[in-house]
Amino acid sequence: SAVISQKPSRDICQRGTSLTIQCQVDSQVTMMFWYRQQPGQSLTLIATANQGSEATYESGFVIDKFPISRPNLTFSTLTVSNMSPEDSSIYLCSAKDVFTTDTQYFGPGTRLTVL
Amino acid sequence: AQKVTQAQTEISVVEKEDVTLDCVYETRDTTYYLFWYKQPPSGELVFLIRRNSFDEQNEISGRYSWNFQKSTSSFNFTITASQVVDSAVYFCALSEAYTGGGNKLTFGTGTQLKVEL
């Protein structure tokens, strides 16, 4: 299974600022995903990070608010832009290699608090 | 549209009791995957099991067992002789299964399991 790390593990940010979250996988993977988990809630898919092309966003999420990069097969970033307190959540990165497994493995998450 | 229902919001048991977490799903796909993940207080999502829709065999792994019944669209999870370390939120998830692409996971709302001494 892939081992996934995320940085930062947690952060407290001021309203109106932006935060970039990094996700690193220990092996090359075809698919990477970003999820949001609001306090006490389930996970919601934000977007699929595609290597070499723009991310594919789910309904309700837009690129201007959550720009995503995927420069190679082991790394992705998610930026939460112009933050408000409603963005306070856990953001989780997951990865899946379609040629070796049908399972998504998750990183430890980034706990974001916006004041 | 896919949907996963975990009707039990919170379950409390005493250590060594057996506990079953329910999961009911809806999908129009004929081929799909079902998953269980564990989320301890640290927040990390830990993969527990994947089941292909064609494989209805029940599975046992140590104190964990899973009962997949396609006829009732259920994929229930039982912990035998529960321990305090089992305290966590457990998520059931569903994804379509097709070759050549990623698969979006649809999560249930989770069941908070509290195991007390």
Closest Cβ opposite residue B110 in set A42, A102, A111: A42
- CB contact, 8 Å: B98 with chain A? no
CA distance A93 to chain B (A): 10
- CB contact, 8 Å: A111 with chain B? yes
Q: What is the pLDDT of residue B84?
A: 96
Q: What is the pLDDT of residue B93?
A: 96
- CB contact, 8 Å: A106 with chain B? yes
Residue B116: pLDDT above 80? yes
- Give per-residue pLDDT as tens, A67-106: 999 999 999 999 999 999 999 999 999 998 767 777 899 9
Percentage with pLDDT > 70 across chain B: 95
Higher-confidence residue: B9 or B2?
Answer: B9
- Give per-residue pLDDT as tens, A45-74: 999 998 888 899 999 999 999 999 999 999
- CB contact, 8 Å: A72 with chain B? no
- CB contact, 8 Å: A71 with chain B? no
Confidence of residue A114 (pLDDT cuts 50, 70, 90): very high
CA distances from A95 to A6, A22, B28 (A): 12, 13, 25
Confidence of residue B100 (pLDDT cuts 50, 70, 90): very low
For residue A30, list chain B residues with Cβ-Cβ distance below 8 A: 102
CA distance B17 to chain A (A): 26
Measure the CA angle with vertex A99, ends A31 and A92; round to 5°.
25
Q: Is the dihedral of CA A59, A63, A65, A68 positive or negative?
A: positive
Subunit contact B45:A92, Cβ cutoff 8 A: yes
Q: Which residue of B has its CA nearest to A29?
A: B102
Q: What is the pLDDT of residue A53?
A: 82
Q: What is the 3-state secondary structure (H, E, C) of chain B?
A: CCEEECCCCEEEEECCCCEEECCEEECCCCCEEEEEEEECCCCCCEEEEEEECCCCCCEEECCEEEEEEHHHCEEEEEECCCCHHHCEEEEEEEEECCCCCCCCEEECCCEEEEEEC
Least confident of A4-13, A25-34, A93-102, B107-116: A93-102
Q: What is the pLDDT of residue B29?
A: 85
Q: What is the pLDDT of residue B104?
A: 80
- CB contact, 8 Å: A102 with chain B? yes
What is the distance between the alpha carbons of residues B50 and B36, in angstroms, rounded to a whole number? Answer: 7
Residue B75: pLDDT above 90? yes
Q: Which residue of A has its CA nearest to B34?
A: A103
- Give per-residue pLDDT as tens, B5-62: 999 999 999 999 999 999 999 998 888 899 999 999 988 999 999 998 888 888 888 9
Burial grade of A75 (CB within 10 A; 0-12, 13-18, 19 or more): middle
What is the distance between the alpha carbons of residues A71 and A87, in angstroms, rounded to a whole number? Answer: 25
A84: which DSSP letter? -
- CB contact, 8 Å: A5 with chain B? no
Helix (H, G, I), strand (E, B) or coil at A93: strand
